[in-house]
Structure 1
Amino acid sequence: MMILFLLVALVGATPAQTPPSPWTARLEALRPEEPSAYFELGEELADASAAARANGDDATARWYRELAFRLFGLAGALDARRYGRSACLALADLAPGEGERRRFRSVALLLDRRGGTVPPETAVGGSPTAAVGASEALSLYRRGLGSQVASRLDRTGGRTLLEAHAWAIGGDVDAFLDAARRQRAQGRPRLGAGETTAMLQFEVGVLEADRRPWSTDLRMTGGSPLADVDPGRLEELFQVDVSRPVYRGGHWTAR
């Protein structure tokens, strides 16, 4: 099947400079048999990008972000069943524009509809507006934009939905909102793998819950016309080449 919309060129961008140690060693240790390592390193590089941006080093921040994009894309394409949806949501966090972020979330939703599974405890959602609002609030939090979290939840009704699934944020909504308010001084939060996974599972669950028609879902999220996505060809969506998943000598090469 063909993908009917183009995602940002950033997804396929290849960083032009050589990564500093210890990133080089970490990259060269990646193997396609372990896609989880690509995803985890992508999360670390996303954090490094946020830190560089906070220090005013926009060039380094952009470079780290591009590399994180590639790693998330490779993880999702190498193991679509386990990482396809999570890769879409992680890419939504890094995308520079709201339109791109919403499109990635829409694709995550479509992947669920094509046969993916959602943990039972996450499968109960609220209204479409609340589901999108809660998902966007968690994305804002992960990107260090906590000052916008409370208003996004209140405006969309997402707070009620989040309270019903407080396990996704450690069990305490008030503590989560307090941490979000303090982000301006602290920057992007340092989340453990379990915390990030819980948030992503919650987002996938609430966005999938009502099984709305695809066209309605995309209008609700502000996306473009319906995207026809083949889960077996995610490398096209993520603009990565799974035949060249090994980093060696400053380049991505074959296995």
Structure 2
Amino acid sequence: MFSSTRRRSVIPGFGLTLGFSLLYLTFIFLIPVGSLLLYTSLMSWEEFWRAISHPQVVASYKLSFSAAFIGAAINLVFGALVAWVLVRYSFPGKRLVDGLIDLPFALPTAVAGIALVTLYASTGWVGQYFHAFGIRIAYTQVGVVLALTYIGLPFVVRTVQPVLEDLEAELEEASASLGASRLTTVRRVILPALLPALLTGFALAFARAIGEYGSVVFISGNLPYKTEITPLLIVAKAEQYDYNGAAAIGTVMLLAAFVMLLVINFLQWWSSRRFAH
């Protein structure tokens, strides 16, 4: 008699778990996205192009993408510095600081937007000092960048932090013992190891910022052609019963999200191949 060496799995079998996974994916992702694309496909090309190329819409594209890029670039630098401090140094309150990094994940975005307005309005706790020098933050494009920087910081920190924890400090000591300067050590030892994680964190922060709504809607002022972001314009068109315009603009943002998804997956694939060799 041949005894079976196959162990019974604690969780349900492949067929059942695959079925639940596909069902969940269908209701959460495929049906909403498919409905959007189907609604957009009912429009003629002229209607679609007219909806996505209106000057007000183009202005919102420019603000959304440029502000998201600037916010992600700021987080690329300062998020890496925060991750470095949290990994390489011990100081009082370190656990508290580490927990505060995840605050944008836990705090509702609308609450974050109200808090930012309270701080940076011309009469706010911080904004009043800038206003004394004629600098406005709230209700300007600077405020939009500030909000997108706030919600994107955790993506960079949490992406870089594990890589820094795995990076042996002995490599830096060996570089220093061989006569390399601190700048050379950063450029030749630390930065190459962190580059894939930095790029992935940047892409995640950028992708998150493109679709942000709650934290921006209060601090931006929502001025057409000036501080109006694309997600806000989609909501406004839906409230005006312009479903064709909302669907067309939403399709453009969906395509942008897919592009960012491909970029993130490529960076992860490149990172795995780079460190595999």
Bigger Rg, which one: 2
TM-score (norm 1): 0.27
Higher helix share: 2
